[in-house]
Structure 1
């Protein structure tokens, strides 16, 4: 009974199951060599200490790869014995459905659904005023390089610290480059053209939250002919009132069915 309820504590908390005492010992040796190198005050010893650290790191990595290989082979043998159509089979035949980062963004409290396609994600980013993830990651990496006093390269454009008055000035220029690249990608992309008609320019700052209805209008993913035809709920994309393509710009600006609403909106706006 005691054996069935006893929780076995891991010998190395926070480490994988294949982590053993030998790997832990090699890790400590590598970290000690690294500390000696970074605290060294004698320039003539730096190269020798660096080579010792590299040797210790290579031994650690080699032992880690061997342990991972042993653990994987043991897992494969056990999994295939218990279930031939289990995890190993699904990995080998690529039957796992993978949701990429670009297709897994989540909306706000009014729209808690995930984006399902690259087009929806691109529209979501523009509406929210959030730069694409790849550009944001590159910007963060460049900022870290500049902070170390080194020159950086962003999207093929060199950023030389000597050309700027301060680090803050260089970071501002980096933000301008990001917006420039994002704007170019937004203009040339074949996706999200309905949203592009409302927001042809990418935002410099994050926008306020949109409601579910306004997001559907700005992205064209609501109760519009172009979207209903795309998802197979309608045979054509025509407006039932006037027989032309039914998209948000047509519905808001031209459709006669909403003429009274447009007149009321114009009347409420101040004269220009």
Structure 2
């Protein structure tokens, strides 16, 4: 019996086998090209990372070296690329072995003690006039003040004349109409009208003594608590008056009637003359 003879491939089968071989070769070539491209990208990236890491180590080593030199723990010498590692190790060992507190960046920015500016009373103000005013002692309000700013008296207490039923019951300040009238001391005030005194303001003091302001033009404060020097009214010529002036009286709390205001002022350290 004759041996089996292998069947020869047909032309179609040969063409198909050639195409499969060509596809396989192209796939292998594409994979090889991809691997080459990836290596070309990865290798420079790894090199760049290595350079960055080396630079960071160099900077850290230089910083450690400078800190150690500032503390006097290592000799002052230039740090080069060749001895970055040794300088960093020496600085770290010196810092680790020193228990004293190290100077921080905030400490380095502190100005010298002799160069610090004077502290103003108001930290947000740089005006020298404001600082001087804040440092100056505050002026205390006087316990007793004049009823008007101008010194000088007209008619005095007890004077005789046709303008009064008996005698003059106060002292007159010959000032212009509209002049501010002030509280002579702390107290409470009330206002009223009198045919002889005209528009009046009565200031009652803590001990019951009353100060009468007469012939006023108008009031600034009609009632309430006031302090010495507060403006309470304005000079006029209301009531039985021959012209603008302030008629001022002092009446003790015992009800004995008006007394001479001049000794009262002088006893308080104020001279209206």
Question: Which band: TM-score by shorter chain?
Answer: under 0.3
Greater share of residues in strand: 2
TM-score norm. by structure 2 comes to 0.18
Q: Choose 1 or 2 for highest CA Rg.
A: 2
Where relative contact order (Cα < 8 A, 6+ residues apart) is larger, the structure is 2
**TM-score of the pair, normalised by structure 1:** 0.18
Higher helix share: 1
